[in-house]
Structure 1
Amino acid sequence: MSKISKVCLFLLCLLPLVGVAKPQVVNVSRSDYQTRLHGFWLGQNIANWTGLITEMDKVGTAKTMPFYTDEDWGTKDLKAMWGEYVPHASVIDFYFEKPNQPWGSDDDTDIEYIYLHLHDKHQTSLLTATQIRAGWLEHIYPEDSAPLFKKFPDSTAQKENFLWESNQRAHDLMIQGMLPPLTSEPKNNSKYMMIDAQLTTEIFGLFAPIRSDIALNIANLPISVSAKDEAQWIANFYVVMHSLVLKADKNLSIQDRVEWLAKQARRQLPKNSYPAKMYDFVWQSYQNNPDKNDWEKTRDAVYQRYQIKQADGYKYKDPFEAGINFAASLVSLFYGQGDIKRTIQIGTLSGWDSDNPTATWGGLLGFMLGYQGVLDTFGKSEMADGYWIHRTRRNFPDRTPNLAGEDTLTNMAKRGVEIVDKVVVEQMQGKLDIKNDQWIIPLP
């Protein structure tokens, strides 16, 4: 036997002693996840409709100054920058839809609903550019043929397709035949830096529990519909936070888990980008502030640093931008300290596009609490469960013909679990164990 053969034989004999490392897996309860998704949809709707009360009331201009503070909670709402009040509330306070009425769709929930529907319709774990474009064209009204809608009590009815900024431009490009990600390329879409992708893609983090790598992959094209560069990285930040919720140490307080999630998501922001520097600035301002109720101090510092001084490479132009709203959202996240009520309250009062950060954190914290946890936190025995997608979108099946609206949050959570089934098996190469009500998710 040659010397090489003897060495190989010796190594083979060692294998039983060394052993082969088994891949690490995590078991996740499907039924528990469904109640969490129910909490996500409920928390997001509460936060969305609460934040809408102050949307664009305060955007840091001479006309809209000073900003809101805690003293304004419970007081009369002011007109938005376009000079009108919202129709659903006159006081700045938590908004709850009546139990027998559906939650109305809005841009913070309706395109996520479209993606939920498309995954279900195509029975796929990964949407293609063609499927996304076809879904947008089928379910979103063109701007010139949208139905008449009276947005405010004192408004004149006008055509409204409930798309704004980058999403509107992307939709126009899709009508012309363009596919994502070309719809977010700066040469095609000058609005690529707006907030739009944040409010349409957080749900992809929940479609890929624990595996943020998979979440970013399945979210990539949907984010690229309307976001590029910094706006894309900011949307990724939110996707990662949602994906990693169940990976956070359950023994930690919810505040510590939220901060851990934020730190993990911070890692994927390019080192010298302005979103990374915004995160670090807001975090340090929060850490250095001895009065954790004085969130206004950090919000005002954000205004001075980024809207006025345009620091860290950020060039402020528009209150709808991803950048300024990312910084504002972090103020409510950190000072909210994991309390869904306080987080929504601060987000609603923070300024700029205030319904979007509130909806994002309302959904995240609603998922962390689960449906019953959201009810308990707000002291409710029940809340509205219906969902009226045709308020803003079109051509969906009426899944609840005997109820107002076309769907329920309960049904939406159930379909979400079925999508996760496919993601776990097809994208993660994990296992669906129906008998034991669980997913077996391999870690990378």
Structure 2
Amino acid sequence: MKRFFALILILSACKTDPESSFNFNPDLEIAEYKPEGTEIVIDRVEYQEKLEGFWLGQCIANWTGLITEMDKIGGDGLDGKGAGFYTRENWGGPDEPNIWGSNELSETIGFYFEDSLWGADDDTDIEYIYQELLLKNKTSLLTGEQIREGWLKHMKHEEENYLWVSNQTALNLMLDGVIPPATSAPENNPDYEMIDAQLTTEIFGLFAPGRPDFAKKMAQLPINTTARENAEWISQFYVTMYSLASIRDGNEDLKTSLFEMADRASKVLPENSYAASMYRFVKEKYDEGATWEEARDALHEKYQVRQEDGYSWSTKDKVCNGCFAAGINFGASLISLFYGEGDLKETIKIGALCGWDSDNPTATWGGMLGFMLGKSGIEKAFGRTVGEQFNIHRTRVGFPNNGIDNFENMAQKGLFVIDRVVQENLGGGIDRLKNCWYIPVANP
């Protein structure tokens, strides 16, 4: 572990370019900063390309996972639908109807691409809202009132609004005047351990590069808008992973980096939680040499059938045996992470075939691996160019330009958020000439 973090100080070398004009947060007065030589140094140009990769990778993985979302939830399924599981042999084959009886997105299971305009989904749209709220409110730490105002402004209240389980319950509570974090309190929100926060808060890890301590602080109230207990800890795991992705040593192979990152991130999971038990169980299956299908089947048997380690959502949830629960989908995401071994395409494939709410784990790792590869690395991996526009108004409302944005602009806004975090919250500095951030290393 020490080797991984000993190399963070030489990740990138800033390049002086007096002929260039760089854009910085227009609402922030850049202060003079004298580097001490011990900081994490990050090139903002390179980071923007990585943020574009985050949005693009997340969209590809999200929409690929939507093809198989709720196709398979194990056992006898729900009312005769969704029984059993897919295997590797199903990739490229026919997509079966999900538990709602539809399979309209694609007739076959495979990667999904858009050549021009990507539609927002619940794996991307609330992260988009949080980035906008941070900029609008000129802050790095959102308040409950600011979150409530943003949700009420940008989410439809009655008609189809692409919200489910804990997100929808939280919105209903906000409409009644409840302010986060009370919107996730178990006495107010019975869906507090559903999957929702896992897909709405990972981006905060990218806003605090190499500083998971502050990333978790930034994300805490957004997480507690919809999640408590295991769902909260699982979300913190993802935020930590994303923050550590910012400081990966480029000389180390991606698989090694990911496994080291996951080991460190797992420390946020309380030892006696079912989330920690799931992490250990999946990692043990991988280390034993089980196939990913065998690991997935064993996960289902242990937690949904036998309900071990205090995991009871398969009976507590009467809708679909806990198919939206934070826990079982966390286990599925770990299977795709470990068995994907850093390969973007393989990770998405496994995530899409693993079962349950398959668009969520795929979007999480597609976004993180997409960030680590950068936009150009994603296009190289798939051997093609991909659309760069984004329609936030597919699922949300109230944004300019009729909701049409693009990944370059979205990444630029991310840089502005980080400018404030680095200077005001991390005690670091911004080099306007070299276009770099200097980020002090956290105390042990």
Q: Determine if the TM-score, normalized by the shorter chain, exceeds 0.5.
A: yes
TM value normalised by structure 2: 0.88
Q: State how far apart, in whole Å, the 2-side matches of 1:173 and 1:268 are.
A: 28
Query: Aligned partners of 1:362 and 1:215: how far apart in 2?
Result: 19
| Alpha-carbon distance, 1:424 to partner | 0.7
Give the deviation of 1:433 after TM superposition: 1.1
In the alignment, residue 194 of structure 1 is paired with which amino acid?
A: M
Report the secondary structure of 1:361's partner residue: helix
Task: For 1:269, give the aligned amino acid.
Answer: L
Q: How does 1:180-259 map to 2 (within 5 A)?
A: 180-259=180-259
Aligned twin of 1:312? 309
Shift of 1:249: 3.0
Deviation per CA, 1:132-161, whole angstroms, max 9, x where unpaired? 10000000001x2x2xxxxxxxxxxxxx11
Task: Judge conservation of contact 1:111–1:200 (CA < 8 Å) in 2.
Answer: yes
Contact 1:248 1:260 in 2 (8 A): no
Aligned to 2:85: 67
Corresponding position of 2:418: 420
Rounded to whole Å, the distance in 2 between the matches of 1:139 and 1:52 is: 23
Deviations 1:246-303 (A, max 9, x none): 33333210011111111110011111111111000000100011x6xx2101011101
Matches within 5 A, 1:252-271: 252-271=252-271
The Cα shift of 1:83 comes to 1.1
Residue 393, structure 1, aligned to residue 396, structure 2: yes
2-structure distance, mates of 1:49, 1:246 = 25
Does 1:105 find its partner at 2:126?
A: no
Looking at structure 1, the residues matched to 37 and 197 of structure 2 have their Cα atoms a distance apart, in angstroms, of: 34
What residue number does 2:21 align with?
Answer: none
- 1:78 aligns to 2:85 (yes or no): no
Displacement of 1:427: 1.2
In structure 2, what residue type is equivalent to 1:187?
Answer: E
Matched, 1:299 2:314: no
Looking at structure 1, the residues matched to 117 and 138 of structure 2 have their Cα atoms a distance apart, in angstroms, of 27
Residues 418-427 or 231-240, more deviating: 418-427
Task: With the length of structure 1 as denominator, give the TM-score of the two structures.
Answer: 0.88
Cα separation, 2, equivalents of 1:39 and 1:357: 17
1:150-169 alignment runs, 5 A limit: 160-169=160-169
> Hey, what's the Cα distance between the residues in 1 that align with 2:410 and 2:226?
24
Write out per-residue CA displacement over residues 314-343 of structure 1, whole angstroms, 9 at most, x where no aligned residue. 113210000000001000000000000000
Task: Indicate the residue corresponding to 1:367 in structure 2.
Answer: 371
Residue 49 (str. 1) matches residue 63 (str. 2): yes
Give yes or no for contact 1:51–1:358 (8 Å, CA) kept in 2: yes
Please state if 1:39 is matched with 2:53.
Answer: yes
Amino acid at match of 1:281: F
Superposition misfits of 4+ residues, deviation over 4 angstroms = none
Q: Are 2:207 and 2:243, in contact at CA under 8 Å, matched by a contact in 1?
A: yes
- Greater CA deviation, 215-224 or 121-130? 121-130
* 1:74-106 CA-partner distances (Å, limit 9, x unpaired): 1111111011113x32110000012xx310000
In the alignment, which residue of structure 2 is the partner of 1:429? Answer: 427
User: Is residue 73–residue 84 contact of structure 2 (8 Å, CA) maintained in 1?
Assistant: no
Q: Which amino acid aligns with 1:310?
A: Q
CA distance in 1, matches of 2:40, 2:248: 12
What is the distance in 1 between the residues matched to 2:422 and 2:55? 21
Question: Shift of residue 23 of structure 1?
Answer: 8.2
| Structure-1 separation of matches of 2:97 and 2:338 | 28
Matches within 5 A, 1:5-44: 24-44=38-58
Give the partner amino acid of 2:396. R
Sequence identity, in percent? 53
Counterpart AA for 2:147:
I
Matches of 2:237 and 2:117, distance apart in 1: 30
| Residue 337 of structure 2 is aligned to residue 322 of structure 1 | no
User: One-letter code of the match for 1:118?
Assistant: L
- Could you tell me how far 1:344 is from its partner in structure 2? 0.1
Residue 9 of structure 1 corresponds to which residue in structure 2?
none
Q: Is the 8 A contact 2:206 2:246 kept in 1?
A: no
Question: How many pairs are equivalent?
Answer: 396
Q: Once the 2 structures are TM-superposed, how far is the Cα of residue 37 of structure 1 from its aligned partner?
A: 0.3
Aligned to 2:353: 349
The answer to whether the 8 Å contact 2:135/2:417 transfers is: yes
Displacement, 1:61? Answer: 3.3
CA distance, structure 1, for counterparts of residue 106 and residue 129 of structure 2: 27
C-alpha contact (below 8 Å) 1:50/1:348 kept by paired residues? yes
In the alignment, the residues of structure 2 paired with residue 352 and residue 197 of structure 1 have an alpha-carbon distance, to the nearest angstrom, of 16
Counterparts of 1:23 and 1:205, CA distance in 2: 24
Tell me the amino acid that sits aligned with residue 94 of structure 1. Answer: F
RMSD across aligned C-alpha pairs, in angstroms?
1.2
CA distances 1:351-370 after superposition (whole Å, capped 9, x unpaired) = 00000000000000000101
State the alpha-carbon separation in 2 of the partners of residues 345 and 201 from structure 1: 23
Tell me, which stretches of 5 or more residues in structure 2 are unaligned? 1-35, 315-321
**SS in structure 1 of the partner of residue 40 of structure 2:** strand
Q: Within 2, Cα distance between the matches of 1:125 and 1:105?
A: 24
- Structure 1 unaligned spans of 5+: 1-21, 147-159
State whether residues 23 and 443 of structure 1, in contact with CA within 8 Å, keep that contact through their aligned partners in structure 2: no
Work out whether residues 23 and 442 of structure 1, in 8 Å CA contact, stay in contact via their aligned partners in 2: no
Q: Which structure has the greater CA radius of gyration?
A: 1
Query: Aligned pair 1:121/2:136, yes or no?
Result: yes
